[in-house]
Amino acid sequence: MKKILLIEDNNEIRDNVVEMLELARYSVLTATNGMEGVELAIAQSPDLIICDIMMPVLDGYGVLNMLHKNKTLQEIPFIFLTAKAEKAEIRKGMEMGADDYITKPFDTTELLNAVETRLRKAASIKADLPADINGLDILMTAVMNKDIQEIIRRNHNIHKYKKKQEIYMEGHPPACLFYILKGKVRTFKRNEGGKELVIGLYREGDFLGYTALLEQSVYNENAEALDDTELAIIPREDFEALLFNNPGVIHKFIQLLCKHVTEKEEQLLDIAYNSLRKKVSQALLLLYKKYNPSYNEHYSIDMSRDGLAALTGVAKESLIRTLGDFREEKLISIREGQIFVTDRKRLEVIAN
Protein backbone atom coordinates (compact mmCIF):
# COMPACT_ATOMS: atom_id res chain seq x y z
CA MET A 1 0.00 0.00 0.00
CA LYS A 2 1.43 3.36 -1.05
CA LYS A 3 2.06 5.86 1.75
CA ILE A 4 1.05 9.51 1.23
CA LEU A 5 1.95 12.44 3.48
CA LEU A 6 -0.66 15.23 3.59
CA ILE A 7 0.49 18.59 5.01
CA GLU A 8 -2.56 20.85 5.49
CA ASP A 9 -3.49 23.20 8.35
CA ASN A 10 -7.21 23.43 7.55
CA ASN A 11 -8.99 20.69 9.51
CA GLU A 12 -11.96 20.35 7.17
CA ILE A 13 -9.88 20.15 4.02
CA ARG A 14 -7.42 17.76 5.66
CA ASP A 15 -10.21 15.40 6.76
CA ASN A 16 -11.82 15.46 3.31
CA VAL A 17 -8.56 14.68 1.50
CA VAL A 18 -7.73 11.89 3.94
CA GLU A 19 -11.13 10.32 3.31
CA MET A 20 -10.66 10.50 -0.49
CA LEU A 21 -7.22 8.89 -0.31
CA GLU A 22 -8.14 6.17 2.16
CA LEU A 23 -11.16 5.18 0.05
CA ALA A 24 -8.69 4.75 -2.83
CA ARG A 25 -6.68 2.38 -0.58
CA TYR A 26 -3.75 4.66 0.21
CA SER A 27 -2.15 4.85 3.64
CA VAL A 28 -2.23 8.50 4.76
CA LEU A 29 0.00 10.40 7.19
CA THR A 30 -1.04 13.93 8.22
CA ALA A 31 0.71 17.06 9.47
CA THR A 32 -0.87 20.39 10.45
CA ASN A 33 2.08 22.66 9.60
CA GLY A 34 5.16 22.69 7.42
CA MET A 35 7.78 21.91 10.05
CA GLU A 36 5.78 18.99 11.38
CA GLY A 37 5.43 17.77 7.80
CA VAL A 38 9.19 17.88 7.16
CA GLU A 39 9.87 15.94 10.37
CA LEU A 40 7.27 13.33 9.41
CA ALA A 41 8.72 13.02 5.91
CA ILE A 42 12.19 12.38 7.32
CA ALA A 43 10.86 9.80 9.77
CA GLN A 44 8.46 7.97 7.44
CA SER A 45 9.81 8.44 3.84
CA PRO A 46 6.39 8.58 2.14
CA ASP A 47 5.84 7.64 -1.49
CA LEU A 48 4.23 11.01 -2.27
CA ILE A 49 3.65 14.34 -0.52
CA ILE A 50 0.60 16.63 -0.87
CA CYS A 51 1.25 20.02 0.68
CA ASP A 52 -0.66 23.27 1.16
CA ILE A 53 1.24 26.52 0.51
CA MET A 54 -0.11 28.97 3.10
CA MET A 55 0.59 27.40 6.51
CA PRO A 56 1.91 28.45 9.91
CA VAL A 57 5.50 27.84 11.12
CA LEU A 58 6.78 26.87 7.63
CA ASP A 59 4.94 27.41 4.35
CA GLY A 60 4.76 24.99 1.43
CA TYR A 61 7.67 26.58 -0.43
CA GLY A 62 9.83 26.17 2.67
CA VAL A 63 8.80 22.51 2.96
CA LEU A 64 9.76 21.83 -0.66
CA ASN A 65 13.08 23.63 -0.26
CA MET A 66 14.01 21.62 2.84
CA LEU A 67 13.04 18.30 1.23
CA HIS A 68 15.17 19.01 -1.83
CA LYS A 69 18.20 19.46 0.44
CA ASN A 70 17.74 15.92 1.75
CA LYS A 71 19.17 13.31 -0.63
CA THR A 72 16.81 10.58 0.57
CA LEU A 73 13.70 12.74 0.13
CA GLN A 74 14.43 14.93 -2.89
CA GLU A 75 12.96 12.48 -5.40
CA ILE A 76 9.62 12.00 -3.62
CA PRO A 77 6.80 13.31 -5.87
CA PHE A 78 5.49 16.61 -4.49
CA ILE A 79 2.03 18.08 -5.20
CA PHE A 80 1.00 21.56 -4.09
CA LEU A 81 -2.58 21.89 -2.87
CA THR A 82 -3.68 25.51 -2.67
CA ALA A 83 -6.28 28.18 -3.35
CA LYS A 84 -3.63 30.39 -5.00
CA ALA A 85 -4.29 29.89 -8.69
CA GLU A 86 -2.30 32.82 -10.12
CA LYS A 87 0.12 31.90 -12.90
CA ALA A 88 3.04 33.48 -11.04
CA GLU A 89 2.41 31.28 -8.00
CA ILE A 90 2.07 28.14 -10.09
CA ARG A 91 5.25 28.96 -12.00
CA LYS A 92 7.14 29.62 -8.76
CA GLY A 93 6.13 26.24 -7.37
CA MET A 94 7.04 24.36 -10.55
CA GLU A 95 10.41 26.12 -10.85
CA MET A 96 11.21 25.09 -7.29
CA GLY A 97 10.67 21.47 -8.28
CA ALA A 98 7.02 20.68 -7.53
CA ASP A 99 5.63 17.88 -9.68
CA ASP A 100 2.02 19.09 -9.83
CA TYR A 101 -0.29 21.85 -8.65
CA ILE A 102 -3.94 21.30 -7.63
CA THR A 103 -6.09 24.35 -6.94
CA LYS A 104 -8.96 24.44 -4.48
CA PRO A 105 -11.79 23.61 -4.83
CA PHE A 106 -11.16 20.23 -6.49
CA ASP A 107 -13.03 16.97 -6.84
CA THR A 108 -12.05 13.41 -5.99
CA THR A 109 -11.28 12.46 -9.58
CA GLU A 110 -8.88 15.37 -10.07
CA LEU A 111 -6.99 14.58 -6.87
CA LEU A 112 -6.72 10.82 -7.44
CA ASN A 113 -5.68 11.24 -11.08
CA ALA A 114 -2.86 13.54 -10.03
CA VAL A 115 -1.73 11.15 -7.30
CA GLU A 116 -1.83 8.06 -9.54
CA THR A 117 0.00 9.82 -12.37
CA ARG A 118 2.83 11.04 -10.15
CA LEU A 119 3.25 7.69 -8.41
CA ARG A 120 3.37 5.88 -11.74
CA LYS A 121 5.95 8.27 -13.18
CA ALA A 122 8.08 8.09 -10.04
CA ALA A 123 8.08 4.28 -10.18
CA SER A 124 9.15 4.32 -13.83
CA ILE A 125 11.97 6.79 -13.24
CA LYS A 126 13.32 4.83 -10.26
CA ALA A 127 13.28 1.54 -12.13
CA ASP A 128 16.47 0.20 -13.69
CA LEU A 129 16.35 0.77 -17.43
CA PRO A 130 16.46 -2.33 -19.65
CA ALA A 131 19.45 -2.43 -21.96
CA ASP A 132 17.49 -1.83 -25.16
CA ILE A 133 15.22 0.73 -26.79
CA ASN A 134 12.53 -0.11 -24.23
CA GLY A 135 14.70 1.37 -21.48
CA LEU A 136 14.65 4.74 -23.18
CA ASP A 137 10.95 4.31 -23.91
CA ILE A 138 10.21 3.71 -20.20
CA LEU A 139 12.06 6.83 -19.08
CA MET A 140 10.70 9.19 -21.72
CA THR A 141 7.15 7.85 -21.62
CA ALA A 142 7.12 8.13 -17.83
CA VAL A 143 7.95 11.81 -17.88
CA MET A 144 6.72 13.11 -21.23
CA ASN A 145 3.85 10.77 -22.14
CA LYS A 146 5.47 10.17 -25.53
CA ASP A 147 6.06 6.91 -27.31
CA ILE A 148 9.75 7.59 -27.83
CA GLN A 149 10.19 4.29 -29.60
CA GLU A 150 7.87 5.47 -32.36
CA ILE A 151 9.48 8.93 -32.44
CA ILE A 152 12.96 7.47 -32.87
CA ARG A 153 11.86 5.09 -35.59
CA ARG A 154 9.85 7.72 -37.41
CA ASN A 155 12.70 10.23 -37.33
CA HIS A 156 15.39 7.62 -38.00
CA ASN A 157 17.15 8.64 -34.79
CA ILE A 158 19.18 5.46 -34.43
CA HIS A 159 22.81 5.81 -35.52
CA LYS A 160 25.17 2.90 -36.14
CA TYR A 161 28.91 3.10 -35.51
CA LYS A 162 31.65 0.70 -36.56
CA LYS A 163 34.36 -0.49 -34.19
CA LYS A 164 36.85 2.36 -33.47
CA GLN A 165 34.56 4.94 -35.12
CA GLU A 166 34.46 8.35 -33.46
CA ILE A 167 31.14 9.36 -31.83
CA TYR A 168 32.07 12.85 -30.66
CA MET A 169 35.23 14.92 -30.15
CA GLU A 170 36.62 16.96 -27.29
CA GLY A 171 35.92 20.66 -27.71
CA HIS A 172 32.81 20.22 -29.85
CA PRO A 173 29.41 21.48 -28.61
CA PRO A 174 26.85 18.77 -27.78
CA ALA A 175 23.77 18.52 -30.00
CA CYS A 176 22.12 15.50 -28.41
CA LEU A 177 22.00 12.89 -25.66
CA PHE A 178 23.08 9.35 -26.61
CA TYR A 179 21.51 6.13 -25.31
CA ILE A 180 23.39 2.90 -26.03
CA LEU A 181 21.12 0.27 -27.56
CA LYS A 182 23.89 -2.13 -28.53
CA GLY A 183 27.67 -2.30 -28.25
CA LYS A 184 30.40 -0.70 -26.16
CA VAL A 185 31.82 2.80 -25.97
CA ARG A 186 34.87 4.35 -24.36
CA THR A 187 35.54 7.99 -23.52
CA PHE A 188 39.12 9.22 -23.35
CA LYS A 189 41.44 12.22 -23.19
CA ARG A 190 44.37 12.71 -25.58
CA ASN A 191 47.37 14.94 -24.89
CA GLU A 192 49.40 16.94 -27.41
CA GLY A 193 51.78 14.02 -27.84
CA GLY A 194 48.94 11.73 -28.86
CA LYS A 195 48.93 9.66 -25.66
CA GLU A 196 45.50 8.63 -24.43
CA LEU A 197 43.87 8.03 -21.05
CA VAL A 198 40.54 6.20 -20.91
CA ILE A 199 38.19 7.90 -18.42
CA GLY A 200 34.91 6.06 -19.03
CA LEU A 201 33.48 2.75 -20.25
CA TYR A 202 29.85 2.36 -21.33
CA ARG A 203 27.62 -0.51 -22.44
CA GLU A 204 24.01 -1.26 -23.44
CA GLY A 205 21.54 0.70 -21.34
CA ASP A 206 23.93 3.56 -20.51
CA PHE A 207 23.42 7.23 -21.35
CA LEU A 208 26.35 9.02 -22.96
CA GLY A 209 27.28 12.68 -23.43
CA TYR A 210 25.04 14.06 -20.69
CA THR A 211 27.82 15.86 -18.78
CA ALA A 212 28.32 18.52 -21.44
CA LEU A 213 24.54 18.95 -21.76
CA LEU A 214 24.05 19.40 -18.02
CA GLU A 215 26.99 21.81 -17.76
CA GLN A 216 25.97 23.60 -20.98
CA SER A 217 29.56 23.38 -22.18
CA VAL A 218 31.57 21.62 -24.89
CA TYR A 219 32.61 17.96 -24.66
CA ASN A 220 35.67 17.59 -22.44
CA GLU A 221 36.54 14.14 -23.76
CA ASN A 222 36.40 12.03 -26.91
CA ALA A 223 34.02 9.10 -27.42
CA GLU A 224 34.71 6.07 -29.59
CA ALA A 225 32.90 2.79 -30.29
CA LEU A 226 34.77 -0.24 -28.94
CA ASP A 227 32.54 -2.57 -30.92
CA ASP A 228 29.85 -2.30 -33.58
CA THR A 229 27.46 -0.02 -31.74
CA GLU A 230 23.91 1.36 -32.07
CA LEU A 231 22.97 4.62 -30.36
CA ALA A 232 19.57 6.24 -29.93
CA ILE A 233 19.83 9.99 -30.45
CA ILE A 234 17.73 12.35 -28.31
CA PRO A 235 17.97 15.95 -29.60
CA ARG A 236 19.29 18.52 -27.16
CA GLU A 237 16.06 20.52 -27.13
CA ASP A 238 14.03 17.40 -26.21
CA PHE A 239 16.44 16.54 -23.40
CA GLU A 240 16.36 20.08 -22.02
CA ALA A 241 12.55 20.12 -22.12
CA LEU A 242 12.58 16.81 -20.28
CA LEU A 243 14.77 18.25 -17.53
CA PHE A 244 12.84 21.51 -17.24
CA ASN A 245 9.48 19.80 -16.81
CA ASN A 246 10.53 16.90 -14.60
CA PRO A 247 12.65 17.37 -11.46
CA GLY A 248 12.86 13.59 -11.00
CA VAL A 249 14.76 13.23 -14.25
CA ILE A 250 17.18 15.98 -13.23
CA HIS A 251 17.89 14.03 -10.03
CA LYS A 252 18.50 10.85 -11.99
CA PHE A 253 21.09 12.48 -14.26
CA ILE A 254 22.74 14.29 -11.35
CA GLN A 255 23.15 10.89 -9.68
CA LEU A 256 24.77 9.56 -12.85
CA LEU A 257 27.05 12.60 -12.98
CA CYS A 258 28.09 12.23 -9.33
CA LYS A 259 28.78 8.52 -9.82
CA HIS A 260 30.94 9.29 -12.86
CA VAL A 261 32.91 11.96 -10.98
CA THR A 262 33.55 9.58 -8.08
CA GLU A 263 34.75 6.86 -10.44
CA LYS A 264 37.14 9.27 -12.16
CA GLU A 265 38.57 10.43 -8.82
CA GLU A 266 39.19 6.83 -7.78
CA GLN A 267 40.78 6.11 -11.16
CA LEU A 268 43.20 9.04 -10.79
CA LEU A 269 44.20 7.87 -7.30
CA ASP A 270 44.81 4.35 -8.61
CA ILE A 271 46.94 5.62 -11.49
CA ALA A 272 48.97 7.84 -9.16
CA TYR A 273 49.67 5.43 -6.33
CA ASN A 274 48.99 1.81 -7.27
CA SER A 275 51.67 -0.67 -8.33
CA LEU A 276 51.93 -1.81 -11.94
CA ARG A 277 50.47 -5.24 -11.19
CA LYS A 278 47.56 -3.69 -9.29
CA LYS A 279 46.80 -1.22 -12.10
CA VAL A 280 46.72 -3.93 -14.75
CA SER A 281 44.65 -6.36 -12.65
CA GLN A 282 42.13 -3.60 -11.87
CA ALA A 283 41.81 -2.70 -15.56
CA LEU A 284 41.24 -6.33 -16.55
CA LEU A 285 38.61 -6.81 -13.85
CA LEU A 286 36.90 -3.55 -14.77
CA LEU A 287 36.47 -4.69 -18.37
CA TYR A 288 35.51 -8.21 -17.32
CA LYS A 289 32.78 -7.03 -14.92
CA LYS A 290 31.55 -4.09 -17.01
CA TYR A 291 30.96 -6.06 -20.18
CA ASN A 292 30.40 -9.50 -18.66
CA PRO A 293 28.00 -8.93 -15.73
CA SER A 294 26.95 -12.58 -15.68
CA TYR A 295 30.61 -13.61 -15.20
CA ASN A 296 30.61 -15.98 -18.17
CA GLU A 297 33.94 -17.83 -17.93
CA HIS A 298 34.23 -17.95 -21.74
CA TYR A 299 34.11 -14.15 -22.05
CA SER A 300 37.18 -12.60 -23.71
CA ILE A 301 38.56 -9.07 -23.39
CA ASP A 302 38.98 -7.86 -26.96
CA MET A 303 40.87 -4.58 -26.69
CA SER A 304 44.07 -3.45 -28.34
CA ARG A 305 47.17 -3.23 -26.17
CA ASP A 306 47.26 0.51 -26.84
CA GLY A 307 43.67 0.81 -25.63
CA LEU A 308 44.34 -1.31 -22.56
CA ALA A 309 47.42 0.77 -21.74
CA ALA A 310 45.31 3.94 -22.05
CA LEU A 311 42.77 2.48 -19.63
CA THR A 312 45.46 1.36 -17.17
CA GLY A 313 47.53 4.54 -17.35
CA VAL A 314 50.82 2.74 -17.97
CA ALA A 315 53.27 2.41 -20.84
CA LYS A 316 52.36 -0.19 -23.48
CA GLU A 317 55.64 -2.06 -22.92
CA SER A 318 55.00 -2.31 -19.16
CA LEU A 319 51.46 -3.53 -19.82
CA ILE A 320 52.63 -6.27 -22.20
CA ARG A 321 55.28 -7.42 -19.72
CA THR A 322 52.72 -7.60 -16.89
CA LEU A 323 50.21 -9.49 -19.05
CA GLY A 324 53.00 -11.99 -19.76
CA ASP A 325 53.61 -12.40 -16.03
CA PHE A 326 49.89 -12.93 -15.42
CA ARG A 327 49.78 -15.57 -18.16
CA GLU A 328 52.71 -17.45 -16.64
CA GLU A 329 50.97 -17.35 -13.27
CA LYS A 330 47.83 -18.77 -14.96
CA LEU A 331 45.72 -15.77 -13.99
CA ILE A 332 44.84 -15.18 -17.62
CA SER A 333 45.24 -16.86 -20.99
CA ILE A 334 45.78 -15.12 -24.32
CA ARG A 335 44.53 -16.54 -27.59
CA GLU A 336 44.70 -14.66 -30.88
CA GLY A 337 45.23 -11.40 -29.02
CA GLN A 338 42.13 -11.83 -26.83
CA ILE A 339 42.48 -12.05 -23.06
CA PHE A 340 40.58 -14.66 -21.03
CA VAL A 341 40.39 -14.36 -17.23
CA THR A 342 41.12 -17.86 -15.91
CA ASP A 343 41.46 -17.12 -12.18
CA ARG A 344 39.27 -14.17 -11.27
CA LYS A 345 39.59 -14.63 -7.50
CA ARG A 346 43.39 -14.49 -7.49
CA LEU A 347 43.25 -11.50 -9.83
CA GLU A 348 40.90 -9.77 -7.38
CA VAL A 349 43.40 -10.39 -4.56
CA ILE A 350 46.06 -8.51 -6.55
CA ALA A 351 43.62 -5.73 -7.45
CA ASN A 352 42.55 -5.19 -3.84
pLDDT digits (tens, 9 = 90+) for 216-239: 899 999 999 999 999 988 888 878
Mean pLDDT of 200-215: 88
Q: Are strands 3-7 and 27-31 parallel, antiparallel or unpaired?
A: parallel
Q: How confident is the model at residue 257 (pLDDT cuts 50, 70, 90)?
A: confident
Model pLDDT, residue 297: 83
Arithmetic mean of pLDDT over the chain:
84
Whole-angstrom distance, CA of residue 283 vs CA of residue 277: 10
Whole-angstrom distance, CA of residue 218 vs CA of residue 30: 47
Q: Which of 191, 229, 188, 236 is nearest to 210 (CA)?
A: 236
Model pLDDT, residue 126: 60
Q: 227-251: string of b/e by CB count within 10 Å (b at 16+)?
A: bebbbbbbebebbeebbeebbbbbb
**Least trusted range by pLDDT, from 91-105, 203-217, 254-268:** 254-268
Model pLDDT, residue 140: 56
Model pLDDT, residue 238: 79
Whole-angstrom distance, CA of residue 243 vs CA of residue 248: 8
pLDDT digits (tens, 9 = 90+) for 57-81: 899 999 998 998 887 888 888 999 8
Contacts of 32 (CB under 8 A, 6+ apart): 7, 8, 9, 14
> pTM above the 0.75 mark?
no
Whole-angstrom distance, CA of residue 221 vs CA of residue 172: 9
Mean pLDDT of 245-262: 70
**Least trusted range by pLDDT, from 40-49, 62-71, 191-200, 262-271:** 262-271
Model pLDDT, residue 35: 94
pLDDT digits (tens, 9 = 90+) for 148-192: 555 555 555 789 999 999 999 999 999 998 988 899 999 999 888
Whole-angstrom distance, CA of residue 64 vs CA of residue 58: 10
Q: What percent of the chain has pLDDT over 70?
A: 85
Domains and CATH numbers, the chain: 3-126 (3.40.50.2300), 133-259 (2.60.120.10), 274-351 (1.10.10.10)
Model pLDDT, residue 145: 47
Given a contact cutoff of 8 angstroms between Cβ atoms, the answer to whether 222 and 189 are in contact is yes
Model pLDDT, residue 155: 52
pLDDT digits (tens, 9 = 90+) for 270-299: 777 789 999 999 999 999 998 888 888 889
Q: Which residues pair with 179 in a beta bridge?
A: 207, 232
How would you list the strands of the sheet with 78-82, edge to edge?
27-31, 3-7, 48-52, 78-82, 100-103
Model pLDDT, residue 331: 93
Model pLDDT, residue 130: 53
Degrees, nearest 5: CA angle 264-269-270: 95
pLDDT digits (tens, 9 = 90+) for 127-147: 555 555 555 555 555 544 454
